Amino acid sequence: AATNFSSIIDSGFDDTIYVDNTFLGLNGNSIDIRLSGGDDTVDISGGAFVTVRYQFASDGGDGTTGIHGDLALGRAVGLTSALIDGNNTLFTTSLATNFNISSGNDMGTFAGSDNFIGAARLAGSQYNDQLFGTVGNDELRGLGGNDFIDGRGGTDRISFQSSPNGVDVDLSSGTVADDGHGGTDQIRNIENVRGSIWDDSIAGDGGNNELDGRGGDDTISGGAGNDTLIGDSHSQAIDGYFGGNDILSGEAGDDTLLGGEGNDILNGGDDDDVLVGGYGNDVIIGGDGGSNFDIVNYYYETVLYAQAYLDLPIGNPQGVIVDLGAATGYDTFGNVDFLVGIEGVFGTQWDDVLIGGGNDEFESFRTFYGNDYVDGLGGWDRLDYAQYDNTHFVNIDIITGLAQLYQTSSPSTPVATTQFQNINDLRGTGGNDSLLGSDNTGGLVERYVGLAGNDTFQGRQGEDEASYHNEHNHGGFQGIVVSAHSSIFDAFEILDTFGDTDVAFDVEDIRGSVFADMIIGNSQANRLRGEAGIDDIDGKDGDDIIQGGTGADSLTGGNGSDTFVFAAGDVDAVDVINDFNIAQDQLDLAGLLDAAFLPANTTDYVQAVQAGGDTTVRVDYDGTGTAFGFVDVALLATVSAGSITFVYDDASNTSTVTIT
C-alpha cells in the first residue's frame, strides 16, 4: 500500500485514478487530487476522504474562464465566464446555451472533461468557476476568481482554509465580498463556513450554522438559529495552529461559541448559549438576561474534549476557580476570564472551585471527576450530574454537604467527591441516585430531579419538590404516574418519564412532565403542577395548590381549602375543576390579569357564566376590557350559584365574582 503522501497531481493527459482505503495521507486519511489538462477519471468510491482540486487548470485563453464542477453528476468541465441573474440561471458570454442550476444540465467546454465518483469535496480553480454539491454533505472551495457555489441539499461547508488573505463571508446575503484571492463569490445553500488563517469576517444566516474562523483576528456573528461559532480551530495536517483575538457574537438562538487561542470576546446574545473561552484572557458575556440560561464550559478545555472532539488547544492538568459574584474565571491555562451574565458553570475533571453570584438568579454547577468545592452563596442553585448515564450514580446529602459519584460497576468506592453548601436543587444521573434534602427552614423549596433510574428522594423538613418537567430533554418519553407508596405513610411512588420507579418521602410537591401525567397528592398541603399535556390531578387531603398548566386538564382538589392556579399561557384549553367548593376554594388568576386594574374593575376582566348545571370562568386575557378579549379558562363542574373568590395579586389580595 502507498503511504505517507498527501496529494496526487495528474499528468496533463487522460488519466484514471482509483482511490480506496489502501491510500493513507501524510497527516490523516485525506488526499488532495489536483487535475489540469486531459480527460481524467477519478474513482474515490473505495472510501477514502478526497478533495478534487482544479488549482492548476488553464484559463482557456481569455484569462477568466474556469470549470463547472458538479458533485451530483460526478463531472467537471471547462466553461467560459458567466453571470447569474435573479432567477438562478447561468448565461454564458460566448456560448449559445444556458444552464439552469436546478436542472443539472451540462455546459459547453473549452478543454477536457473529468469524471469523478464518490468525492465529497470539490475545489475550483483560480478563475471563475461554478461548483455544485449533492443532496448530501459536501465541502466546496472556490479558490480564486468570481465563483458561483451551490451546496444544494444536506449540510454543506464552504472552505477558505488555503486563502492567502482574510475573507468576508455573509451567508444571509449569499455573498463572499472577498474570497482572500481578490474575488467575489455568490453562494447558495451553504450552512457552514471555514475561514482562513488570517483576519476574517464571517456572518451566518437564519439557519443552524457552524462558523469556524481558524487563525487570525476574526469577527464572527451567528444570526438567528442554533449556531456553533469557533474562533480558532486548527488542524496540523492543513495549516498548523494559529491563534487570534476573536470577536464571536451568537445573537439569537441557542449557540455554542468556542474562542480557541488568543484574548477573545464571546457574546452569546439572546437565548441559551454555551461559551468556551479557550486559551487567553477572555471576555465571556452570556447575553441579555431574562429567561436566558448561559453556560461557561471549562470542561471543553480539558484533554477529554478539547482535542478529541473540538480540535482546540488543551489546558493544563489543573482545575478552575470560578466566582460568578466576582465575575472571574481562572481557566485551565492559568489565564483569567471576565464573566458577565453567566448562570451555569461546567468544571473540569480536575479539582475545581465553583462559586455562585450570591443573587436571586437560578444558577447551576456541573462537576466531573475530581474533588471539587461548590458554593451557591444564595438564590436558587443547582448541583448537576445530568452528564452521566446509567454507568454512574450519585449520592447527595444537603445536610452533610457531600456529593459522591460512583461507577455502577464499582458501587463501593466513589470516583469523585464534591463538597458543597448553599445548594437547594439536586439533579442526578441516569443511574439509581439518592438525593437527600435538609431541615430547610429558610423558605426556599428544595428540588430533586432524578432523571432515569430508580431514584430515592428524601426531603426531610421544609418544603420539597420532585420535578419531572424537563426530563424530555434528557430522553424522557412518557407522562408520570404518582400514587401513594404501598408501605411508607404519605410517601409517593412515581413511575417516571423513563419508565423507572422513584420513591419520594417527606416530599410535598410534584411537578409533572410535558406529557400526560396522573398525579395524586397525600394528606399534606401539596403543590401539584401538571405542566404541558392533558393531566389528571387529585390533591386528596390538605390545603393544596393545583396548577394544570397547558392542555385540557382534569383537576380535583379533594378535602381542604384548595387553590387552583392559572399562569400566563394557560389559556390554550379549558380545565375542568371537578369539585370546586365556592365556600372554601379559590381561583388564582394573577398570572392572567394585570393587577393594576383590580379589584375596582373586577367584572370587566373576569366573568363567571352559568351554563346548565356548570359554571364557566372567563378572563379578558388581552386586557382590552371588551367582550372580544375574553377566553374560557375553567369549567366548574356542578357549580351553579354564589360568588367565586379569586386571587388577583397574591394570597392577601382577593376579590369576588358573582355567577351570572
Q: Which helix (H) or strand (E) holds 626?
A: none
- 647 within some domain: yes
Taking a C-beta distance cutoff of 8 angstroms, is the pair 571, 589 a contact?
no
Taking a C-beta distance cutoff of 8 angstroms, is the pair 556, 537 a contact?
yes
Structural domain containing residue 615: 565-660
Distance (Å, whole) CA 204 – CA 437 = 46
Q: Is the pLDDT of residue 190 over 50?
A: yes
Distance (Å, whole) CA 285 – CA 620 = 39
Distance (Å, whole) CA 572 – CA 594 = 19
Q: Is the pLDDT of residue 598 over 90?
A: no
- 182 within some domain: no
Indicate the SS3 state at residue 129: strand
Q: Per-residue pLDDT averaged across 564-579, rounded?
A: 92
The reported pLDDT for the residue numbered 138 is 84
- 612 within some domain: yes
In sequence order, the β-bridge partners of residue 123 are 53, 141
Q: Which residue has the higher pLDDT, 12 or 466?
A: 466
Distance of CA 174 to the CA centre of its chain: 25
- 608 within some domain: yes
**Cα angle for residues 637, 642, 647 (degrees, 5° grid):** 80
pLDDT in tens, 133-160: 888 888 888 888 899 999 988 999 999 9
The reported pLDDT for the residue numbered 396 is 99
What pTM value is reported for the model? 0.76
Distance (Å, whole) CA 628 – CA 621 = 10
- 187 within some domain: no
Q: Which residue has the higher pLDDT, 16 or 409?
A: 409
Closest CA to 56 of 144, 116, 180: 144
- 10 within some domain: no
The reported pLDDT for the residue numbered 498 is 99
Q: Per-residue pLDDT averaged across 52-68, rounded?
A: 47
CB atoms within 10 A of CB 502: 27
**Cα angle for residues 437, 296, 423 (degrees, 5° grid):** 15
Domains: count for the chain:
1
Taking a C-beta distance cutoff of 8 angstroms, is the pair 275, 294 a contact?
yes
Taking the alpha carbons at both ends of the chain, their separation in whole angstroms is: 90
Q: Which residues contact 628 (CB under 8 A, 6 or more apart)?
A: none
Q: Per-residue pLDDT averaged across 444-459, rounded?
A: 97
The reported pLDDT for the residue numbered 504 is 98
Would you say the C-alpha torsion 52, 53, 58, 59 has a positive or negative sign?
positive
pLDDT-above-90 percentage for the chain: 48
pLDDT in tens, 620-648: 877 665 555 788 999 999 998 888 888 87
- 180 within some domain: no
Distance (Å, whole) CA 466 – CA 455 = 11
Q: Is the pLDDT of residue 38 over 80?
A: no
Q: Which helix (H) or strand (E) holds 605?
A: helix 602-605
Which set of grid coordinates corresponds to residue 565?
A: 392556579
CB atoms within 10 A of CB 240: 10
pLDDT in tens, 273-332: 889 888 889 999 997 656 789 999 999 877 655 555 455 556 667 899 999 999 999 998
Distance (Å, whole) CA 608 – CA 634 = 10
The reported pLDDT for the residue numbered 15 is 53
Q: Per-residue pLDDT averaged across 250-264, rounded?
A: 80
Q: Which residue has the cell 492538568?
A: 317
The reported pLDDT for the residue numbered 311 is 55
pLDDT in tens, 352-397: 999 999 988 899 999 999 999 999 998 999 999 999 999 999 999 9
- 643 within some domain: yes
Q: Which residues contact 168 (CB under 8 A, 6 or more apart)?
A: 176, 177, 178, 200, 201
Alpha-helical segments (H) within 284-417: none
